[in-house]
Amino acid sequence: MTLAMVSIGLSPTDASAQREARRTTVAVKKTPRTKVIYVNPKPSVKVVRTIPQQHRVIKHRGVSYFYNEGFYYRRTNNRYIVIPPPRGVRLSVLPPRYLKLQLGGFPYFYFGGVFYLQKNKAYEVVQPPIGALVPDLPEDADKITIDGKVLYEYGNTIYRLVETDNGLQYEVVGELE
């Protein structure tokens, strides 16, 4: 397992950055894919024939993504695959039923396996912070084992199930390389 450092910075025009003119550094534990064993032989993929009519098209780095109420889709062979969005995608409004988390002095927003930070007047998909606790994962998260430990993976982020005062939760413990 290698360790990488990721710096999360906010634009100086961001209101929260003006209040807290500092950068937060998050340690990210990276695990090589070769050490991962999927409990189910085939990774979970959710495919739908149609997406809601009120969807929005989001272009990110030349790729079109379809978005509706916190869910992201990619079109393939006249079907749509539900996917985790790439980091850097921005929304003007958070998904409904999001959860607000205070981590490292910053307000993160979580929904469906995706973490967001507010940047100016938008919400950007960001790397999940190590140690973040969330009550649930998307139904298509995969159960995996690494070095004999049962973990969960969604969008290349690795979680472990932990018992807390609030019941069972999923803790971000790293990401796949």
pLDDT beyond 60 at 148:
yes
List the chain domain ranges.
2-176
pTM across the whole model: 0.77
Question: Where on the phi/psi map is residue 132: left (φ > 0), alpha (ψ -120 to 50), or beta?
Answer: beta
Strands 79-83 and 46-48: antiparallel
Q: Which residue shows structure tokens 């998307």?
A: 138
Give the tens place of pLDDT for each residue, 90-147. Answer: 999 999 999 999 998 999 999 999 999 999 999 999 999 999 999 999 988 999 999 8
Tokens linked to 135? 């009550």
Give the tens place of pLDDT for each residue, 35-64. Answer: 677 676 666 678 899 999 999 999 999 999
Grade residue 22 by pLDDT with cuts at 50, 70 and 90: very low
Of 129, 142, 137, the residue nearest 173 (C-alpha): 129
